[in-house]
Structure 1
Amino acid sequence: MNTIKLNKSDYKIIGGYLLIATIFLIFKFYVDKYTLVEYFIDIPVFWLKVFLLMFIIKELLYYFLIKNKNFVALAVLSLLSFWLVGFITFLSGEISRDGFVNWKILKPFGEFFLMNVYSSLGDLAIPLALISAKKYYEYQLRATTFSNTQKELELRLLRSQFNPHFLYNSLNTIDALVDYSPKEKVKEYISNLASLYRYLIKTNEEDIVSLEDEIVLAKNYIYFIETRFENDYQFNITEENLVTDKYLPSGVLLTALENIVKHNQPENNRVIVTTIKIENKDVKVINTISKPKETNESFGTGLKSLKKRYELLSDKMIEIEESENEFMITLPLLKIVD
């Protein structure tokens, strides 16, 4: 099936070009004192010439460029087609002007051939350029739409990858609290859990959130970790440089904190200390390193998720630094551009 198709808007562009070209020809014919016969013959012939050339070049491009990749045949047949259409147009012009063709005054074949090819190219160039520009714009628009759709799907997938075991662990914690803690403690835990998931549902469709909201969410998450593991983990947040016009990808702090808990197991009464430092251009999450936990989940999944989300949302990248005793993730702050 021919894959090069002209749609309704393409024909409108060609029609607009023919209208403007026709007005120009009428003015030219008037200045050069053409006869009425030439008006009624040469202008329709010009219209037919444009449509014929568009049809020919469309078919040649499909069969010899797209389908068969035969560039030599494409070049040869294009030149012959341009010459033939130009030659027929020349004959029509001679007949409409003089009523016959004076073969004796024709130029040498080579010069005559190039003249006819040049005539066809001149009449084809503008409509072909307009259609090509429109098709390129439509292609770019479709590519951008597809890219944005693909990014949105990837972002939704990444947002849905917040550790599914967190809810399971939280329910286990509630079960333990019911047996060993006051009723008020249990109610407080359930209230905070409901608040966290209410926020996650609310921001489920949002790609970025304000730094303040992300810090509040992080504090809520920290509450669950400290309740569940008691004194095994310690968290500190420096909020002196808390800015009000900066943003983070939704849930990235939770992913960073979850990654710390997932892969660091306290040992020998050594507390895992995590510091969240808010600076002017980024947020640094620094934690002490201990023996890795035994887990079925591959190490680095959370970090890959963070990297991918920044890649989809901005031109900034997270930075990771690791020493013998510390691990640091730098999360660049984002700014909304109007």
Structure 2
Amino acid sequence: MSSNELSLRYDLLNSQMNPHFINNAIQSICNAITKGNVNQSINWLNRLSHLYRLVQKSTKCKLIDLQDEIEISKLYIELQRDLFDKGFAYTIVIDKALKEDLEYTKVPPLILQPLIENAIVHGLKTMKRNGKGELKISIMLEKEMIYACITDNGEGITKTEKELNEDAGISLENINERLKIINGSTCEQKLLDVRTLRNDAGLVFGTQSCLRIPLIQI
């Protein structure tokens, strides 16, 4: 495939993320409105509007600042947290070597959000009413790559890889394709890995989704 064809393919993959993301967020808020909490729903819609503007801006670019990607992720997490009956805890850990260069470090737009969405909507779904859900996002440097992991303390993956991709819509396949394009066809590393976490006794204690993004700093 020529460089022009790869560029067009990448632009198409980016553009697909916008409607997928917004549709899912609106559906969550519609579900909340049916419960009758009008004032809270208006607050959610205002925040969604701010989030939508950021998403609109980001998906028009091939790459965005890691700082903006993290802001989008935070807004999305906090919106979803409020939609849980008793919320959930979340932390974002960023490598010290990256913290001062977030605005100069470039990543594909909405590269983290679909994995965060899967962790919240699927991983933490059984904890929607008990407030015991935990979400952790870590963004580290590893051999000239950004190594980002999204971890939840839910019930693990209960679907096959095929079912997981179908259930997540275009998201997982989209992420993998975009990573392949920016990493180049010669990259032999596994760029996206989604797995169930188990302790030494074999008991499930969550799901972890990790991806490797080439370190691009401008």
| Common fold: TM-score over 0.5 | yes
CA–CA separation in structure 1 for the residues paired with 2:83 and 2:93: 23
Within the candidate set 144, 148, 173, 1:304 is matched to 173
In terms of fraction of residues, the more helix-rich structure is 1
- With normalisation by structure 2, the TM-score equals 0.71
Task: State the Cα distance separating 1:198 from its structure 2 match.
Answer: 0.9
Q: Does 1:313 align with 2:217?
A: no
Could you list the runs of 4 or more consecutive aligned residues of structure 1 that deviate by over 6 angstroms after TM superposition? 291-294
Q: Which structure is higher in RCO with an 8 Å CA cutoff and minimum separation 6? A: 2
Give the 5 Å matches for 1:192-271.
192-239=47-94, 241=96, 242=99, 243-244=101-102, 245-264=104-123, 265-267=125-127, 269=130, 271=132
Within the candidate set 154, 164, 167, 1:289 is matched to 154
Task: State the Cα distance separating 1:165 from its structure 2 match.
Answer: 3.0
Residues 172 and 233 of structure 1, relative CA distance in 2, 3 Å threshold: same
Q: Is the 8 A contact 1:273 1:287 kept in 2?
A: yes
Q: Does 1:173 align with 2:42?
A: no
- With normalisation by structure 1, the TM-score equals 0.49
Give the 5 Å matches for 1:71-110.
none
In terms of fraction of residues, the more strand-rich structure is 2
CA–CA separation in structure 1 for the residues paired with 2:194 and 2:89: 21
Residues 305 and 163 of structure 1, relative CA distance in 2, 3 Å threshold: farther
Could you tell me which amino acid in structure 2 is paired with residue 305 of structure 1?
Answer: N
Structure 2 alignment gaps of length 5 or more: 198-203
Residues 290 and 205 of structure 1, relative CA distance in 2, 3 Å threshold: same
Q: Is the 8 A contact 1:263 1:299 kept in 2?
A: no
Deviations 1:75-128 (A, max 9, x none): xxxxxxxxxxxxxxxxxxxxxxxxxxxxxxxxxxxxxxxxxxxxxxxxxxxxxx
Q: Does 1:273 align with 2:134?
A: yes
Could you tell me which amino acid in structure 2 is paired with residue 313 of structure 1?
Answer: I
Report the secondary structure of 1:275's partner residue: strand
Larger Rg computed on CA atoms: 1
**Aligned-residue RMSD, C-alpha:** 3.2
CA–CA separation in structure 2 for the residues paired with 1:233 and 1:306: 25
Q: Is the 8 A contact 1:247 1:333 kept in 2?
A: no
Structure 1 alignment gaps of length 5 or more: 1-139
CA–CA separation in structure 1 for the residues paired with 2:19 and 2:183: 20
